[in-house]
Structure 1
Amino acid sequence: MRTIQLSLVAAAVSLALAGCGALGPNYERPAQTLPTAAIKPQSTHTSATVDWLTWWKGFQDPTLDALLDEARANSADLALAAARIEESRAQLALTHASRFPTVDANLAASRSQVSEHAGKLQPGANPRYNDFQPGITAAFEIDFWGKFQRADEAARARMLALEAGRGTVLASLYANVAQGYFALRGFDAQVALAEQTLATRRENLRLQQKRFEGGVVGELDVQQAAAEAAAIEATLLTAQQNRRATEALLATLLGRSPAAIVQPVIARGTALETLYTRAAVPAELPSDLLNRRPDLVAAEQQLVAANADIGQAKAAYYPTIKLTAGLGYESRQLSTLFEPSSLFWNLASGITQPLFRAGSIDAVVAGAEARKAQATAQYALAVQGAFRDVHDSLNAIASAEALVTTAEKRIVALREVLRLANLRYSNGYSSYLEVLNAQRDLSQAEAGVIDVKRAQLAGVVALYKAMGGGWATPAKS
């Protein structure tokens, strides 16, 4: 009889460990109407080969590389994401352990006294006695309905979602630092241009003052020159202020100390003009965006987890089958504790079938299905947003390149306008206001082309971020 019982228990455990069909729907990725071919950017700066993992290397700026390395090493956001991943990994291990038997070692010792007047003792028996009981107990719930399998699936998906979430943080960090660095180099160029222009305007003011003192021009020309010099000085002060703010922003992104943020020192590398010429985009964009972009991977894994939760909830409708076993020794005397006659063992099984829960199981299942519907909608929104990001980045790059071409043509024309205005003013054919207008238009155009080139660099970075550049898909451990 004992052999038959052990064989039945062993067979049940083997069947459970082999795995039965899990309740609930198996996951299928929601249907999406996606581009069937690679997307080709409308850009004159394209590259046939792109290293998506380290896209910033294409700018060939060691200073930018060092800043990105510093940001990754010091980022508190990355540290927080990593800690959450470790917590989720521990939760996965805990959930996975539920699929296996539990085995415990027990040791009990007691000393008792029985009433001598209760009629329970034989004549002359000692009412005091000891009891020693070492043993091992085991318990196991057979996962016929896949409850633990679905729980394991959900926990694994949530861990993978957090790992992809860390990728989102990392990709955003790289993009923000790169865009901040390009903005800083843009403000450096704006400050340099304003300083150069201010020097020219001050020289013009000096010449006009000399002409006024010599009676060649009137006071109006002097005041107009002074006003123009003051306007350029205000432009310089604004550019300097913006540069200081950008330095503090970068220091924060780099994870530096509060003291270093108050007094930021940011290294400079390649000039904005050179960075612009190196800002190449891929000749073709891969169409597998759903697998490349970390936030989409995270959204899909959350959907996988919500789908598995339905199976866990539905398992509550069905019987719970548990097996227990115990093996040990029991004796009143230590001297006879481990003798064969002191051995005891037991095998037991139990089944519990819910009969009435006042709709609580239905409510849990309905809640799980509603959460899956939410996760499905969130995934669809994330996919839509991702492709819009790609579209907007490509549009921004193409527009910026066209604006740069137009602005540079305009600068060539405005320089000729300024030359002719100076010539007309020197020969007495026009007022000094015509010269000032030409100078102002040229200065604004030169400042504008700096802004557009900075915007084009930011657009290139946004494209790499939109395509999931800067992170590697984690292995599904």
Structure 2
Amino acid sequence: MALSHTLSRSLALSAAALVLASCSLAPKYKRPTAPVAEAYPHADTMSSGTGTTTAAATLRQTLSAQTLGGDLRLNRILALALENNRDLHITALNVERVRALYRIQRAATLPSLAATGDATRRQTPAALSPSGTRSIDSTYQAGLTLPAYELDFFGRVASLREAALQQYLASEEAHHSAHIALISAVSRQYFGLLAADEQLALAQQTLDAAERSYALNRQSFEAGVASELDLRTAEAQREAVRASVAQLEQSRDLAHNALVLLVGSPLPATLPAPGSLATQQLIDNLPAGLPSELLTRRPDIRAAEHSLRAANANIGVARAAFFPAVRLTAFGGSASPELSDLFEGASKAWTFAPNIALPLFAGGANRAQLDAAKLANRIEVANYEKTIQNAFREVADALAIAKSIDIQIDAQTARVTAATRRYELSEARHKAGVDSYLTVLLAQQELFTAQQQLVTARLSRLNNLVSLYAALGGGWDDTSETAAQTTARLTAKH
């Protein structure tokens, strides 16, 4: 009964300490004002024509998807990348590691009990013995021990726990950022591979035409109809295009290798056939929303804010160092000079040892730690503001490109049509003997350039949609949870 009473009293004191531990010296957190404009430039470029509330809901629903659309092959490749990419796997493991660190810090706020057993044998010299003779004493004890438990009167332990929690949440957001970055990188690389295939096909068509022109000029030269100048001009054009084909084949292979690396595994042969750049049905009507919505949507901004909250909590830790630290140590069990009597009724023993440490002189270390914590907080404020500004610029840049990219594609399409007709006319005039082969050569070069640049413009449009999608925080489900749900999730046992 004595042991039970002692432990009950110790636990009661610990519980009271938990109640008193509500005092925190950390400054009250206040989110810094976003250093950006209230609206994006060119925000009407991607407007959906719906009301603000409806547009915001549409944006959130759209951005929660894993892809921007695209063909079936891209969607299958994205699924493989999310499953196999090593960088994403590393960030997921890091989240679990930081979660474990948080659970360690959270455990420090609760008292702990340990079953202990000690055996001590001590010799006392005659000069120090009350009896004047050398003596040998033994002490045996066993029981339950409450190790030094800090009564968190000034919130030091609570602030440490809060800092650990915010660091964990920041690591989660870093994982979300990696998720978005992977979806964006795979999509861009896939579109780049499609562009390489299309440019290679165009180059091969141009090479076939150059081969035919060279053969015709050679026949004409051998028949004495064409000059050697025309023959060598056709030959030079053929070799130039052949070099372009080889270069584009190299670019295509490199693009494929880069995509395989991002996916984390070889691309299965059973994947659906790819579509063309022109047939990719991406979501191109994203309402940009407001910069204030970006603060709660983009994981990198949320991560920066969690880091700021952690720095804010660390100020509370540094301030608590100026105040007394109170710790409790307790023991309840049995103690006896003889091991055989250790568990006899008369051997019951208990110890209750509170300890208080009041900092008097630390050589300025506590003040320096507080200054360092405040400076770290200011650094995190600057990082948070910089992250917001960078996010704002990424959205604004994507909107600016979206404003003109369709005009560029229309112009390039018209240019290809005109260049095609010019090439047909120049070939006909050359065969009729009206123009020299140089006219055909120039027309062929113009057509090839126009076709390549049209592919590049289409690729730019798709890449810009991917950039806007990522800049707005797309690619992951940001369904919010309450503080209680977060705590329950973090403390759940594996």
TM-score interval w.r.t. the shorter chain? 0.7 to 0.9
Gaps of 5+ in 1: none
Query: Are the structure 2 counterparts of residues 142 and 116 from structure 1 closer, same or farther at C-alpha, using a change threshold of 3 Å?
Result: closer
- The farther-off stretch of 42-51 and 415-424 is 42-51
Secondary structure of 2:24's partner?
Answer: coil
2:15 counterpart residue number: 14
Q: 2:379 aligns with which of 360, 374, 379?
A: 374
Shift of 1:81: 1.5
Q: Determine if contact 2:426/2:439 at 8 Å carries over to the other structure.
A: yes
Q: Does the C-alpha gap of structure 1 residues 119 and 375 become closer, same or farther in structure 2, counting only changes over 3 Å?
A: closer
| 1:345 counterpart = 2:347 | no
Cα distance in structure 1, aligned partners of 2:159 and 2:165 = 10
Where structure 2 has 5 or more consecutive residues not aligned to the other structure, the ranges are none
Q: Which residue of 1 aligns with 2:87?
A: 77
Look up the match of 2:474. Answer: 469
- The separation in 2 between residues aligned to 1:311 and 1:341, in whole angstroms, is 48
Deviation at 1:22, TM superposition (A): 0.2
Per-residue CA deviations over 1:332-369 (Å, capped at 9, x if unaligned) read 34554334432122323222211111111000000011
Question: Which string of whole-angstrom CA distances, capped at 9 and with x for unpartnered residues, describes residues 246-267 of structure 1?
Answer: 11211222224xxx69xx9896
Q: What CA RMSD, in Å, does the superposition of the two structures yield over aligned residues?
A: 3.3
CA contact (8 A) 2:170 2:303 kept: yes
Question: 1:233 aligned to 231, 242, 245, which one?
Answer: 242
| Contact kept in structure 2, 1:95 and 1:152, CA below 8 Å | yes
- Gap change, CA 1:266 and 1:373, over 3 Å in 2: farther
Bigger mean CA deviation after superposition, 314-323 or 342-351: 342-351
* 2:475 partner letter: G
Which stretch of structure 1 is more off in the superposition, 35-44 or 186-195? 35-44
| Contact 2:46–2:285 (CA under 8 A) maintained in structure 1 | no
- Aligned counterpart, 2:143: 135
2:96 maps to: 86
Change (3 A) 1:463 1:11: same
Q: 1:193 aligns with which of 195, 202, 220?
A: 202
Q: Deviation at 1:440?
A: 1.3
Counterpart residue identity of residue 158, structure 1: Q
Q: How far 1:184 moved relative to its partner?
A: 0.6
Structure 1 position 68, deviation (Å):
1.8
Task: Trace 1:95-174 onto structure 2 (pairs within 5 A).
Answer: 95-110=105-120, 120=130, 131-138=139-146, 139-174=148-183
Alpha-carbon offset, residue 66 of structure 1 = 2.2
Match of 1:394 in 2: 399
Change (3 A) 1:334 1:232: closer
Q: Mean alpha-carbon deviation: is it higher for 340-349 or for 238-247?
A: 340-349
**1:383 match:** 388
Q: Distance in 2 between matches of 1:270 and 1:447?
A: 19
Residues 1:218 and 1:114: Cα distance change in structure 2 (over 3 Å): closer
Change in 2 beyond 3 A, CA 1:422/1:119: closer
Give the structure-2-normalised TM-score: 0.85
CA contact (8 A) 2:46 2:287 kept: no
1:291-440 alignment, distance < 5 Å: 291-333=296-338, 336-440=341-445
Partner of 1:270: 274
Distance 2:139 2:343 in 1: 13
Aligned residue for 2:451?
Answer: 446
Q: Which moved more, 1:127-136 or 1:368-377?
A: 127-136
Which residue of 2 is the match for residue 52 of structure 1? 63
Give yes or no for contact 2:24–2:158 (8 Å, CA) kept in 1. yes
- In 2 relative to 1, CA 141–397 (structure 1 residues): closer, same or farther, beyond 3 Å? same
| Equivalent pairs, count | 467
Deviations 1:213-249 (A, max 9, x none): 3333322222222222222112111111111111121
1:247 and 1:265 in contact (8 A); partners too: no
Contact residue 45 and residue 281 of structure 1 kept, 8 A: no
TM-score scaled by length of structure 1: 0.88
Letter paired with 1:150 = S
One-letter identity of the residue aligned with 2:273: G
Q: 1:78-134: CA deviations, max 9, x gaps?
A: 2221222222112111111121123222212355677799875699xx977654321
Match of 1:286 in 2: 289
Q: Which amino acid is the alignment partner of residue 179 of structure 1?
A: R
Partner secondary structure for residue 322 of structure 1: strand
Q: Which residue of 2 aligns with 1:254?
A: 263
Q: In the superposition, relative to structure 1, how do residues 115 and 367 fare at CA in structure 2: closer, same or farther (>3 Å)?
A: closer
The 3 A distance-change label for structure 1 pair 109 and 119 is closer
> What is the match of residue 24 of structure 1?
26
The one of 34, 42, 46 equivalent to 2:45 is: 42
Q: Structure 1 counterpart of 2:425, which letter?
A: L
Cα distance in 1, alignment partners of residues 48 and 74 from structure 2: 20
Inter-partner Cα distance in structure 2 for 1:247 and 1:106: 63
Q: Is the 8 A contact 2:85 2:263 kept in 1?
A: yes
Identify which range, 311-320 or 218-227, moves more after superposition: 218-227
Instruction: Kindly state the Cα deviation for residue 178 of structure 1 after the two structures are TM-superposed.
Output: 1.1
Most deviating of 174-183 and 395-404 = 395-404
* Cα offset, 1:329, TM superposition: 1.4
Q: Aligned equivalents of 1:304 and 1:89: distance in 2? A: 17
Alpha-carbon displacement from aligned partner over 1:430-463 (angstroms, at most 9, x marks no partner): 2221122112111110111011111211111111
In structure 2, the CA distance between the partners of 1:420 and 1:317, relative to structure 1 (3 Å rule), is: same
